[in-house]
Amino acid sequence: MPGPGPHMMYALGTGLGLMGVSEGRFGPHHCLCYAVNAFFGPDIGSFSEWLFSTLGFQGWDVEGLIHQPFYYIFILGLPLSLLYHWASRFALRKGLLDSPSGENGKSSMYTWILSTGWWVSRAPINPDAVVVVGVLCASLIGGFIYINRVKPSKSLKTQYRQSLKLIIIIAFLYGLWCASQIYLVNPRRAAVGEEADLGVLVFLFVYFFLPHYLCIASMNSKDYATEQLPLYHPRDANELK
């Protein structure tokens, strides 16, 4: 396994690529946190073991505790998240984090996502919303079990396509319900409590599911440009006459 140097250089290089393709949404501070985590993740255990032994704390199994999935959350995960939160808030207040896209909910996309939620007061629990959301969620889980366990196809590719169609249909109906309560009902109602489900669904489709689907689809694509074509032979021309 490489040491912290290659890890951090790899993370910084990847972060720079994300900065380039995101047009500023993945900023330098994201890149910095990304690189720091590349050190904390794989190598902080052995580094902490060396540090504690140097300071005179022999006999402490620091590396074993940090590399333990459960204790890592409390020893490093939670403190680091609080540290990053404080550092980001401090940098924002000082004007050190400036992005052309407008971060932290101030871009037009994030503003629209937040607008699909309910912010007037505590959202009422509408019985029809409970029924609609319950039916759609039950259909999603029940349909997935039916496709993959009750009536599974012999082809895994067929099961995948059927499951994908199911998710798309449920997501469309779910979004349609939310949009109807927000834009068609007058006055507007809380579609799903206080949650901005419509905005989140659109955001996940555009920035998460669609890119990942395109990546997965490209893995098995056939390169027709390099496909070998049958060689032409003069005899073929004679046969065509």
What is the tally of structural domains in the chain?
2
**Residue 82 covered by a domain:** yes
Residue 177 lies in a domain: yes
pLDDT for res 7: 72
Residue 168 lies in a domain: yes
Instruction: Please indicate, yes or no, whether residues 112 and 216 belong to a single structural domain of this protein.
Output: yes
Rounded CA-CA distance 69/105 in Å is 32
Do 87 and 123 share a structural domain? no
In-domain check, residue 227:
no
The pair of structure tokens assigned to 58 is 């022999």
* Same domain assignment for residues 53 and 148: no
Q: Residue 55 phi/psi, 5° resolution?
A: -80, 0
**Structural domain of residue 208, as residue ranges?**
108-220
pTM: 0.53
Mean pLDDT computed over 164-190? 91
pLDDT at site 14:
84
13 in a domain, yes or no?
yes
- Burial, 184: exposed, middle or buried (Cβ in 10 Å; 0-12, 13-18, 19+)? exposed
Res. 198 pLDDT band, cuts 50 70 90:
very high
Domain assignment present for residue 47? The answer is yes
Do 165 and 193 lie in a common domain?
yes
* Residue 184 reports pLDDT greater than 90: yes
Q: Is residue 235 part of a domain?
A: no
In the block, tokens 């590719």 appear at: 157
- For the ranges 11-25, 33-47, 49-63, 143-157, the lowest mean pLDDT is seen at 33-47
- Mean pLDDT taken over the chain: 78
In this prediction, residue 99 has a pLDDT band, given cuts at 50, 70 and 90, of: low
Spatial contact of 80 and 40, defined as CB atoms under 8 Å apart:
yes
Residue 239 located in a structural domain: no
Rounded mean pLDDT, 105-120:
82
Is residue 141 domain-shared with residue 212, that is, in the same domain? yes
